[in-house]
């Protein structure tokens, strides 16, 4: 049986969102640790005639196993999760033999997070404030191969580029521009595992906000951030 993604690629997509045959329903995974948000997403997606919610996860643990066991075309992944974050989940999913499309769904989606999404290989980033119809349209779009990441301003791109070593900056520019990884490997003459290892190292440097430590201590700061009240959390401007 074809997956929705395979069927869409074979048919070269339907720009008008026409009804898919039942066999080509889009298999969706929801990864979110907030019960109300998780429930709302499942209800929204299951109400669509062309979606099937095939897996629901409340944290990063077990996501890869579920993606291997179920038919997943698109994973809708919260950025803030217990333990690992959504970009880590994205990186693991993209290493699968048949990787799903990944949408990072964050309450604090901004240009900085968009840069990190590009390096992590995410196909889209959406703010949790969007209408449900926009999320559904995004799922249909990424299945058909569209990349939905906002444009990043040159000043921000330059600021983040300066965090990287000289030999990482060309790769950073190519990832930010959305050049397919297969083309990047061909151009740079590197193996797939080498490209992904370099992307991991770059993400380690890029994801931290100014003044934050790059990795383990940042994870602790996220735990503390979640304990703040809504107003203080909003004022902190940390991407969720």
Does 122 score more than 60 pLDDT? Answer: yes
Give the model's pLDDT for residue 182: 94
Residues 169 and 119 in one domain: no
Residues 14 and 98 in one domain: yes
Residues 161 and 136 in one domain: no
Number of domains present in the structure of the chain = 2
Q: Which two tokens stand for residue 239?
A: 């991407």
Which one of 143, 178, 198 terminates a domain? Answer: 143
Q: Which domain holds residue 163?
A: 154-206
Residues 64 and 180 in one domain: no
Reported as a single tens digit per residue, the pLDDT across 16-53 is: 444 444 458 999 999 999 999 999 999 999 999 999 99
DSSP 13-68: --TT-PPPPGGGPEEEEEE-S-HHHHHHHHHHHHTSTTEEEEEEESSSTTHHHHHH
What's the whole-model pTM score? 0.78
Whether 149 maps to a domain, the answer reads no
| Separation between Cα atoms, residue 1 and residue 25, nearest integer Å | 11
Which span out of 13-17, 59-63, 200-204 was modeled with the highest average pLDDT? 200-204
Reported as a single tens digit per residue, the pLDDT across 184-232 is: 999 999 999 999 999 999 999 998 765 554 444 344 444 334 433 433 3
């Amino acid at each position: 049986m074809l997956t929705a993604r395979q069927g869409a690629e074979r048919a070269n997509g339907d720009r008008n969102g026409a009804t898919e045959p039942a066999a080509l329903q889009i298999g969706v995974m929801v990864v979110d640790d907030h019960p109300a948000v998780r429930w709302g997403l499942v209800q929204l997606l299951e109400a669509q005639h062309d979606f099937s919610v095939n897996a629901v996860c409340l944290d990063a643990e077990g996501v890869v196993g579920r993606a291997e066991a179920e038919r997943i075309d698109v994973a809708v992944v919260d950025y803030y999760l217990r333990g690992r974050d959504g970009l880590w989940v994205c990186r693991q999913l993209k290493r699968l033999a048949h990787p799903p499309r990944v949408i990072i769904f964050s309450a604090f989606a901004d240009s900085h997070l968009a840069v990190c999404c590009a390096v992590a290989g995410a196909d889209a980033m959406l703010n949790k404030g969007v209408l449900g119809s926009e999320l559904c349209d995004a799922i249909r779009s990424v299945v058909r191969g569209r990349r939905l990441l906002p444009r990043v301003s040159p000043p921000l791109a330059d600021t983040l580029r300066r965090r990287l070593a000289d030999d990482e900056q060309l790769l950073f520019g190519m990832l930010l521009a959305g050049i397919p990884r297969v083309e990047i490997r061909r151009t740079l003459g590197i193996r797939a595992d080498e490209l992904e290892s370099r992307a991991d190292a770059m993400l380690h440097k890029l994801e931290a906000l100014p003044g934050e430590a790059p990795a383990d201590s940042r994870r602790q700061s996220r735990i503390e951030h979640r304990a703040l009240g809504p107003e203080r959390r909003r004022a902190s401007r940390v991407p969720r």
